[in-house]
Structures are given as C-alpha cells and as structure tokens.
Amino acid sequence: MSEPTAPVLRPRPVSLVTIAVILALLGLFLVFADWAYLRHPVPAPQNEAADNLSKDQAWKATPATRRAYLAELRAKQAKQGATYGWVDQKTGVVQLPIERAMELVIKEQGSAQ
C-alpha cells in the first residue's frame, strides 16, 4: 500500500486579489498619512527685508543687521569693561575696569578674613 500524499495547496485567485487590494489600501493610507500628518511646514524666508518694524526691532531684520548690532554691542561692552565712569552718580554706583574691580574684591575679601 502506498503512503498517502499531502494535497498540494495552490492559492486561489480570490485570495491573491484580496492581498493585492489590502496592500494597495495600505499604500494609500501611508501616502495619506505622509501628506496629512508628516508634512513639515515650510519656514518663512529669513533674508527678506522687514517692513513696519519699530526702530528697536529693526536690528532683527536681516543677518547683516544682526551682525552689525552684535559688533556694536560687543564694542560697547568692551569699552565699559575697560574704562571708569558713573553708572548712577546719585547713588554712588561707578563702573571700573575689570582688572581693578578684581583687585578691590581680592583686597576686600583678604581683609575680611
């Protein structure tokens, strides 16, 4: 007697069509999800001339104006850190060069101990 053989399973055309439809729907869903949810907003251009900005905000208009403002600010701070001057004469607040201010703090802290 011969051994029984397993039946050969062949996919039915209906199941192949079902798989193709499911894959197509999944693809459409991914395209929709990408279009609807995963899009990143386009940033506004950074180098356009600014209109209707107040004078105190005009330095933010372009990279060139920001660089010029930063250079001006650093020059002002360097000057303040290297010269003597009054901050508020009524209350007796002065500005000192940084090196001199450090010397005074060291002298004050040394005498306190």
Q: What is the pLDDT of residue 48?
A: 55
Helix, strand, or coil here: 80?
helix
Cα separation, 110 vs 73, in Å, equals 35
pLDDT above 90 for 63: no
Question: What is the overall mean pLDDT for the chain?
Answer: 83
Across 64-76, average pLDDT: 91
pLDDT range class, residue 58, cuts 50, 70, 90: confident
Alpha-carbon distance of 15 to 23, in angstroms, equals: 12
What's this model's pTM, rounded to 2 decimal places?
A: 0.45
Task: Return the amino acid letter for 29.
Answer: F
